[in-house]
Structure 1
Amino acid sequence: MKKEGFPVRVGAICDPRDPYRGGLAAVAPLGKLLRLDQPQWLDPAGLSADAVHQALDALHAEQPLDAVIIACSPVHHIVYLQWAVRRGVHALCDKPVVCAENASWDPGAALRVERHFDDLLGELTRQQEKKPCHLAVPLRRRANDAYLTAAREIEAVHHNHKQGITSINLIKNAGMYRLPAEYGLGDAHGYSSGVGSLAFSSYHFIDVIAWYLSLALGQATQLAVTNPYVRRLGDYLQTNESEVLGELLEGREGAGERPELPPAALRAEVDFVFHAELLDEDERKLGLLTYSCFNNTYSHRTSPPQKVDLDGLIPFREKGRMSQFVMDINQGSLQHLVMSKNDVVGENYQIALRRRRNPCISDEPSRSWLFENAHAGSDITPRHLTQAFIKLAAREEISPDLGSRLSFLENQRLSHALFSSFYQLIATNYAGGSPERRIIRLT
């Protein structure tokens, strides 16, 4: 954007790591940004929410901030979001928008995931009368050509025949292999905050389920959500799964070592399954949504930890992480879609989509798509979404097509209702409460 002459400047970086420290400053493009913009560094480590707000107020008074980009551990998002919304500063926030420390095992913390979101949405609505601001969530799948193609197919059948979705079965395999000691490392994918795999890339897929369902509700008016399976980090480390590949990477001498991890990390979820029954107003069953997430599946990893990771010079990299999923969708007897992906993270992704329609409603009963380089090759990428957000913050117009692919806080009600319900169920499971279900209203 600078090259195109857009008057944008990074005024401050808020991070426990000093960006000007030798190891970090040498990493492009951060080093170039530091030379060009010379942003101030704010260290939030050990500060209360009020103290962080005061420090940001001081920066804001010295040189007003037009926008903030929030990309830290999700349990800290709310601190920066509250500050931005109360001051009418535009915010671009990574997913999940709101999480809470220890939500994996503490029912009170899990309930805060829901309450913080509701409070934030209410505060944002009130703020529009004073100093309107945007709170955007860059959910790349809502802008991706492959997912949009599936969305159009779903919407078309619902529009023409009023047939709602009757089943979605989504299986996600993360392939996020870690040596046991690596679970103690920090950054946004750490477990030390008492939240696990649900708080990370799972939100993308929860949002896809919510998005597709909202396009074709049919007669559904509510969801009954249950949690039939959860495996926590402590359970996983008691098996030999963490040692099999570890022996190949590090040798047998260190393979049996057990890291000293805090209880909060050991209680965090690694694998889980959720069911959401589709119900009508009379609680008749219309179908079922399932989301299964398995973290320690096939991994492409071939290397042990590296010093730059362990020293915190760069964010911890999930070596050998996979991006694998299969999503099977039915709209009654009229349409079936299956979408699949099986790639190493960092390589060019391929997403395959196949759709079948009943021949009574289509001249083309079967159709297939293969999206090569599916993320970076999409018409609109996260880079475009970020640029669009910055232009909105500068009160510039953006194209309607680009604007329609930006997701804002008010668009996340159903996605976050599912996400927060999942955490409440996981925490209840740990607390030993009786199995229960959470009801989510759709209308």
Structure 2
Amino acid sequence: MDTPEWLNPDGLSRTELEAVLDRAHATHRFSLVIISCNPVHHQEYLFWAVSRGISVLCDKPLLVTEGAAYRPEAAKRIIGGYTELGQALTRARASGPCHLAMPLRRRASDIYRSIAADIAEMQGTYGQGITSMQLIKNGGLFRHPEEYLLGDAHGYRSGVGALSFSSYHYVDLLAWYLELAPGEAVRLRVTNPFVRRVGEFLRTRQSTTLAKLIDTDDAARIPDLPPEVLAAESDFVFHLELLGEKGQKAGLVTYACHSNTYSHRSVGLQEFDRTNRQSFREKGRMSQFTLDINQGSIQHIGVFKNDVVGEDYRIRVQRRRNPIVTSEPYVEQVFDNAHAGSSVTPQDVLQAMVRLTSGESAPAQVADRIAFFEDQRLSHHLFGTFYELIAMSAEGSGPAERTVELTG
């Protein structure tokens, strides 16, 4: 029987929180912690669990710091925290098994794994790495201004925005594919040519056009938003130049995130939103993206998705290979119910983690689809680097680029 014991960490210091958790563990002796809360609080729970040898399944992103969108010193702590967590995990494993993983749907999905296999095949057979990769993610999330104050795990009060709440899956996807097919690239030169913050978005006509159609009471619902909300990132673009051993340019990866694109929303702010009785509403949110991958002149893969959130997801994949390397140059597949229809789902990953932490083996078909901590070194370094560049943009100071090693 599920009989939860609710713990309220609000207002507790880190020492007090650890004492509360220690008492809970002494009573229940659990072997797995599942973390799903505002990601700026992940670190406290992660370090507590790992330092005691307790396995963890943590929601994305693994680590982010409060104010990372506009305070460079806070943004720098993301990669630093990741390094410290790795060290704590190594110490814990000296005394026995300790697993740390994230339920990343794309790492487990049949679709994305088939794309990964195609990419790896061209790298393994011909040595042809990825030479260009563009991912355009359109969130389609329209909000009235005061709705930026609502929500817990998807709120903006912590001074972080769309990179934390909508992007880690995609950052991880780019990192995963790059590691499978780096070609001659050994490092990445990362720049942030565009970032638009919530405050900047709210000063545009885009922020009012739909509002006037679905809710004409404009004057009554525009609050004074706190500075940490106004400074949180809403839309952004990152360029990752692929550099060879001698500094030669081997290609370019681009990630563009647009939070406020086409929205299916047709209703205004409802009472249970206004009173914050529901932590997050997805009225009109879309899940739209285009992923374009080229491996030189050998292979092109296109992935397309355009769905209202809550409906069955449909993903279309097109693959072309040069006719000299295949008898089937063009393949197109359409996957209906793409996420839930995968042979391995996030629910399967959760069940496998429970089995691992109880001393059993994970099912063979699931074991290699769990996104463990060690699988995400590049993902997290890119994530932290992106926040460093966003924060430096807010200050208007510091270098305009960062370098990230592909391996090591």
Give the TM-score of the pair, scaled to structure 2: 0.98
Is the contact between residue 334 and residue 357 of structure 1 (CA under 8 Å) also seen in structure 2? Answer: yes
Q: CA deviation at 1:257?
A: 4.2
Q: What amino acid is aligned across from residue 87 of structure 2 in structure 1?
A: G
2:54 corresponds in structure 1 to 89
**Could you tell me which of 65, 70, 89 is aligned with 2:30?**
65
Q: CA deviation at 1:438?
A: 0.7
Q: What amino acid is aligned across from residue 228 of structure 2 in structure 1?
A: A
State how far apart, in whole Å, the 2-side matches of 1:56 and 1:410 are. 26
Is the contact between residue 243 and residue 255 of structure 1 (CA under 8 Å) also seen in structure 2? Answer: no
Per-residue deviation, residues 330-389 of structure 1 (Å, max 9, x unmatched) = 000000000000000000000000000011111111111111100111111111111111
1:317 maps onto 2:281 in alignment: yes
1:293 maps onto 2:269 in alignment: no
State how far apart, in whole Å, the 2-side matches of 1:388 and 1:320 are. 34
SS in structure 1 of the partner of residue 238 of structure 2: strand
Superposed, which structure 2 residues align to 1:15-30 within 5 Å? none
Q: What amino acid is aligned across from residue 190 of structure 1 in structure 2?
A: G
State how far apart, in whole Å, the 2-side matches of 1:351 and 1:123 are. 39
**Could you tell me which of 133, 140, 155 is aligned with 1:168?**
133
State how far apart, in whole Å, the 2-side matches of 1:120 and 1:111 are. 15
Per-residue deviation, residues 254-308 of structure 1 (Å, max 9, x unmatched) = 3674322111110010000000000011110000000000000000011222223
1:420 maps onto 2:384 in alignment: yes
More divergent stretch after superposition (147-156 vs 418-427): 147-156
Q: What amino acid is aligned across from residue 41 of structure 1 in structure 2?
A: W
Per-residue deviation, residues 72-121 of structure 1 (Å, max 9, x unmatched) = 01111001000110011111000110000000000000001110011001
SS in structure 2 of the partner of residue 176 of structure 1: coil
**Could you tell me which of 149, 159, 170 is aligned with 1:194?**
159
Q: CA deviation at 1:434?
A: 4.5
2:182 corresponds in structure 1 to 217
Superposed, which structure 2 residues align to 1:268-283 within 5 Å? 268-283=232-247
SS in structure 2 of the partner of residue 40 of structure 1: coil
State how far apart, in whole Å, the 2-side matches of 1:300 and 1:51 are. 44
Cα 1:297–1:256 change in 2 (3 A) is farther
State how far apart, in whole Å, the 2-side matches of 1:136 and 1:49 are. 23
1:28 corresponds in structure 2 to none
**Could you tell me which of 162, 185, 210 is aligned with 1:245?**
210
Q: CA deviation at 1:313?
A: 3.1
Superposed, which structure 2 residues align to 1:349-360 within 5 Å? 349-360=313-324
1:177 maps onto 2:142 in alignment: yes
Is the contact between residue 150 and residue 279 of structure 2 (CA under 8 Å) also seen in structure 1? Answer: no
Q: CA deviation at 1:312?
A: 3.4
Question: How many residues end up aligned between the 2 structures?
Answer: 407
1:362 maps onto 2:326 in alignment: yes
State how far apart, in whole Å, the 2-side matches of 1:319 and 1:257 are. 17
More divergent stretch after superposition (316-325 vs 302-311): 302-311
SS in structure 2 of the partner of residue 41 of structure 1: coil
Q: CA deviation at 1:309?
A: 2.9
2:170 corresponds in structure 1 to 205
Is the contact between residue 178 and residue 318 of structure 1 (CA under 8 Å) also seen in structure 2? Answer: no
**Could you tell me which of 356, 380, 390 is aligned with 1:392?**
356
Q: CA RMSD in A?
A: 1.2
1:74 maps onto 2:39 in alignment: yes
Q: What amino acid is aligned across from residue 94 of structure 2 in structure 1?
A: E
Q: Any stretches of 5+ residues in structure 1 without a counterpart? A: 1-35
SS in structure 1 of the partner of residue 224 of structure 2: coil
State how far apart, in whole Å, the 2-side matches of 1:170 and 1:315 are. 29
**Could you tell me which of 404, 410, 421 is aligned with 2:368?**
404
Per-residue deviation, residues 383-431 of structure 1 (Å, max 9, x unmatched) = 1111111111111112222010001111110000100000000000101
Which consecutive aligned stretches of 4+ in structure 1 deviate over 6 angstroms post-superposition?
none
2:311 corresponds in structure 1 to 347
State how far apart, in whole Å, the 2-side matches of 1:246 and 1:73 are. 27
SS in structure 1 of the partner of residue 185 of structure 2: coil
2:269 corresponds in structure 1 to 305
State how far apart, in whole Å, the 1-side matches of 2:376 and 2:220 are. 43
1:113 corresponds in structure 2 to 78
Q: What amino acid is aligned across from residue 265 of structure 1 in structure 2?
A: V
Is the contact between residue 143 and residue 381 of structure 1 (CA under 8 Å) also seen in structure 2? Answer: yes
Higher relative contact order (CA 8 A, sep 6+): 2
State how far apart, in whole Å, the 1-side matches of 2:98 and 2:105 are. 21
SS in structure 1 of the partner of residue 218 of structure 2: helix
Give the TM-score of the pair, scaled to structure 1: 0.90
Is the contact between residue 284 and residue 309 of structure 2 (CA under 8 Å) also seen in structure 1? Answer: yes
State how far apart, in whole Å, the 2-side matches of 1:417 and 1:216 are. 18
SS in structure 2 of the partner of residue 221 of structure 1: strand
SS in structure 2 of the partner of residue 200 of structure 1: helix
1:264 corresponds in structure 2 to 228
User: Percent identity, aligned pairs only?
Assistant: 51
Is the contact between residue 135 and residue 255 of structure 2 (CA under 8 Å) also seen in structure 1? Answer: yes
1:227 maps onto 2:188 in alignment: no
1:55 maps onto 2:20 in alignment: yes
State how far apart, in whole Å, the 2-side matches of 1:57 and 1:112 are. 26
State how far apart, in whole Å, the 2-side matches of 1:256 and 1:119 are. 47
More divergent stretch after superposition (143-152 vs 280-289): 143-152
